[in-house]
Amino acid sequence: MFSNSYNKFFPTPKFLSMPSFGLDISDDSLKFVEIINKKHGVRMGKHGEKKISAGIIESGKIKNPKLMEQALSELRKDFGVESVRVSLPEGQIYLFKLRLDKAGLDHVREAIELSLEEHIPIPAEEASFDYEILDEDERYLFIQVTAIPESILENYLVVFRNSGIWVKSFELEGQAISRAVVKQGEMGTYMIVDFGQKSTGISIVSKGTVLFTSTLDVGGVTLDEMIKKNFKLDAKEAEKMKKEYGLQRNVGNKELFPVLLNSVSVVRDEISKHFLYWNTHKEEGFKDSPQIEKILLCGGDSNLTGLAEYFSISMKIKVEMANVWVNILDTNEYVPQVNFKQALSFAAALGLALGDLENE
């Protein structure tokens, strides 16, 4: 059903196929989803979110392996998570395009390895990489390369191995999200904004492949802190106020609106910067980048009332809430266990879990 090719590290051999979960790891939580292919269609199985203590993971790097192993072991024991597809920390990943001359080209991987240090700030022997052929002509291969420090991968593999969980594959988080929210077969170019609790991920996907990613240290918690500071509220009251009013300009919200707008505009400015650069920048030797057609919003804090409208009006482009079920099930025929808004925070985990159905 899912035939598109995605960047993966260490894909599992077919003979080791077993039930799998998608596991989205962030600095403060583990989100997991199981997708089951049943007689009457694909269904959502076990799912949930497990909070982890501050300092276990920082900016995608595992800082306390023992506590990470403990959290994963509890996930295995409490929810039966035996094997997973895992999202990689995008802050540690390098994406770049490469043009290879076909003349004398015998081994693509060897040619990429020789070019790695021109594009990433680590020695080639310390990097693990994967690639996808984007296009070709009579003379050149046009390739998308994804690279990550070998040490980061090894650290993740060790904690999973010690916790008794089999890793089926590691994937770029943006790629997993795009698999969930971009309808299979759509070959357009979209910007995906994952507005999370502590950070915001920006990715650009074209013809099913993520070609750009960036992460901002601004999220829902940033908005909560601004409300707490300005209105002298505790964290619970601040979050409630944010959810109740959002970016609505009305009588009950006239003091809150400028406070939220101040933080949201920072995200908007960063999105606009990447949007403009993508649509106007031309790489030497490559075709012009296809124009971004629309922006898809996901992530737990993308539900902020008025956020999509604000981005759309200020950036003059179509912005819509992502549908994380578009490649999984028809919500008119089956109602998932989590509602539409809740499901937006599970976009990456759902996309990872969908990887098991690609070759069925």
Q: Which residue intervals of the chain are DSSP H helices? A: 65-79, 108-115, 150-163, 173-181, 220-231, 235-245, 256-280, 307-315, 340-343, 347-354
1-49 tens-digit pLDDT: 223 333 455 554 443 445 579 999 998 899 999 988 877 778 888 999 9
- CATH, residue 314: 3.30.420.40
301-359 tens-digit pLDDT: 999 999 999 999 999 999 999 999 999 888 888 888 888 889 999 999 999 999 877 65
Amino acid (one-letter) located at 35? I
Q: Which of 359, 355, 349 lies closest to 298 in space, CA to CA?
A: 349
Asked which of 13-17, 113-117, 264-268 is least confident by mean pLDDT, the reply is: 13-17
136-149 tens-digit pLDDT: 999 999 999 999 99
Residue at 163 is within a domain: no
Residue at 237 is within a domain: yes
Number of domain units in the chain: 1
Residue at 28 is within a domain: no
User: Taking each helix axis from N to C terminus, what angle separates 256-280 and 220-231, rounded to the nearest 10 degrees?
Assistant: 150
Q: What gap in Å lies between CA 127 and CA 122, rounded to an integer?
A: 7
Residue at 145 is within a domain: no
Instruction: Give the per-residue pLDDT at 17.
Output: 46
Residue at 295 is within a domain: yes
Residue at 177 is within a domain: no
Q: What gap in Å lies between CA 327 and CA 325, rounded to an integer?
A: 6
Tokens of 116: 């790695």
Structural domain that includes position 316: 185-326
Residue at 357 is within a domain: no
Instruction: Give the per-residue pLDDT at 359.
Output: 53
CB atoms within 10 A of CB 170: 25
Residue at 34 is within a domain: no
Cβ(326)–Cβ(351) below 8 Å: no
Q: How confident is the model at residue 360 (pLDDT cuts 50, 70, 90)?
A: low
